[in-house]
Amino acid sequence: AVIHGGHDAKPGTLKAKFNVLGNRMYPQWCQDLGVMFKQTGLVVVAVQPQKLPGLDRLYQRGRTNGVKGLALMGRDQLLDMEPHVNPRAAGALFVPTAGLVQIQRLVIALAEHAAANGVHFFFEHEVEKILVENNAAKGVAAAGCHFDAGLVINCAGVDSENIARSAGLGDKYKIVPRKAEYYLLDKKYKGLVSRPCFPIPAKHGKGIAIFTTLNGNVGFGGNALEVQDRHDLSTTEEDFQDVYVKAQELVPGIAGKDLITGFGGIRSKSVTNDFIIDLTDQPSGIVNLNGIDSPGLTSAPAIAQYVIRLISGVVDLKKDSRKRKHYKIKPLFRDLDFKQKERWTKKDPRYGRIVCRCEQVTEGDIVGAIHAPIAPRTVDAIKFKTGAGTGRCQGSFDLERVLAIMSREYQIPAEAIQKKEQGSPMVIGKTKVYD
């Protein structure tokens, strides 16, 4: 959930261009969508003196890319800003334009904004191939269905290579999947760092970082492991130890015994080490967004504007005369001020009933999420939108309550509720039947 400033990307690349443009769009973008964003800045730390030339290179690179306000700092300045960073650190680069966003709620807000404006979503319809006829895209085949379309936008992440190949497009879109592992600490570490803290970038990524979240947790991670299975989200003891040791070099105060969760993700890295964004002519009508790894999140709003320009010659974007609806995601009860909470509770008493104690998520939050433009049909979907189950107990306290609310609102038995997708039921039946 780090919004990067643009100091790291190689000048002249799409990554450098869209990182800086996207960064500038984020404050207004998030305000319009009702999503929390905080411009915290970030620091890149040289733990050893021999790493200081790396800070100079990043400083010059950032200036070339157009990043504003970059500053090189000595040890004392760094420790004044981040007192828990390794006290032997030689210096740092401060990037003030960087920030943090509530990433899950941002993605959901974007989708709900689209749904509120007439976009239809077809979940559990895995795309099999792009349909091509007379050297032009005619739609996609997905889950046994055909969807007709004169324009197909392939933004399928680690699967974008296979989607492109299905249309006869070649090695240009090859993906090199790289796995990263991240670990989240208990909230008693809140305040350990005030902003993301990175080391000098490694060969295959930005290195193992320590970061804070807008929910009050501190986490660490960000290794880069080349893997064959692009859907392997596992974590391992060996890789955890590697990440943990490197994180402690940066901020010695973290302790592995206070982890509450860990998870893996796959970066979609292209063979060019840059974003590949194009509109094909052989066959025509396919936009490929390939290799959108870091800083893809930061670049997203700028990439979207670029894609609009790309397709404007294929689709008449002014033909639809419907007025766009302005949509904001509904705020969480915990984020309201006291008077707002009082008003909401009087209007709907369900906001006064806590379901998730760790994250202060209420029954009203969950019911509101269920009746939003896109209904969250799984427990994980509820978790991503409301935060229920993401705290210290990882859902131990609230799971049965979440299932009961979903069962009631959707009028389905709890056994039909899935964790993530079909085939992942949370429960299989009752152990006791009460009169």
Residues labelled catalytic: 4
**What 3-state DSSP class applies to 318?**
coil
Whose tokens are 């790894």? That residue is 293
10 Å CB burial of residue 390 (0-12, 13-18, 19+) is buried
In 213-330 the beta strands, taken as DSSP E runs, fall at 218-221, 225-226, 259-270, 276-281, 284-290
Q: How many CB atoms lie within 10 A of CB 243?
A: 22
Listed in order, strand segments (DSSP E) in 165-321 are: 175-185, 197-199, 209-212, 218-221, 225-226, 259-270, 276-281, 284-290
CA–CA separation, 144 and 240 (whole Å): 40
Identify whether the C-beta of residue 388 lies closer than 8 Å to the C-beta of residue 361. yes
Length of the chain: 435
Distance (Å) of CA 14 to CA 169, 238, 276: 21, 35, 8
Strands 225-226 and 152-154: unpaired
Q: CA torsion 7→267→106→260, rounded to 10°?
A: -100
At which residue do the structure tokens 């039909």 appear? 416
Type of residue at 152 = V
Do 181 and 174 touch, CB atoms closer than 8 A? no
One-letter identity of residue 33:
L
Instruction: Tell me how far apart the alpha carbons of residues 381 and 378 are, in angstroms, rounded to a whole number.
Output: 5
Cα separation, 22 vs 25, in Å, equals: 5
Q: Determine which helix (DSSP H) or strand (DSSP E) holds 153, and give its type and residue range.
A: strand 152-154
Show the CA angle centred on residue 155, arms to residues 150 and 157, nearest 5°: 155
